[in-house]
Amino acid sequence: MENIVLSIHLILTLSLIGAVLLQRSEGGGLGMGGGDNNTAGRSAANAMTKLTWMLAVGFLITSVTLTVIAAKSAGEGSVLDRLGLDAPEATTTLTPDLGDVVLTPPSSTDAPTAPPASE
4: confidence class by pLDDT, cuts 50, 70, 90: very high
58 CB contacts (<8 Å, ≥6 apart)?
Answer: 8, 12
List, for residues 16-28, the tens digit of each pLDDT value: 999 999 887 766 5
- List C-alpha distances in Å: 117 to 42, 79, 110, 111, 114: 84, 62, 21, 18, 9
- List C-alpha distances in Å: 17 to 45, 56, 60: 16, 10, 14
| 116 phi, psi to nearest 5 deg | -65, 145
Residue 79, CB-side half-sphere exposure with 13 Å CA sphere: 0
List, for residues 32-44, the tens digit of each pLDDT value: 555 555 555 556 6
Task: Enumerate the domain spans of the chain.
Answer: 1-24+46-71
29 CB contacts (<8 Å, ≥6 apart)?
Answer: none
List, for residues 60-102, the tens digit of each pLDDT value: 999 999 999 988 887 776 767 767 766 566 555 566 676 777 7
pTM over 0.75: no
Helical axes 2-22 vs 42-74, angle rounded to 10°: 150
pLDDT over 70 at 110, yes or no: yes
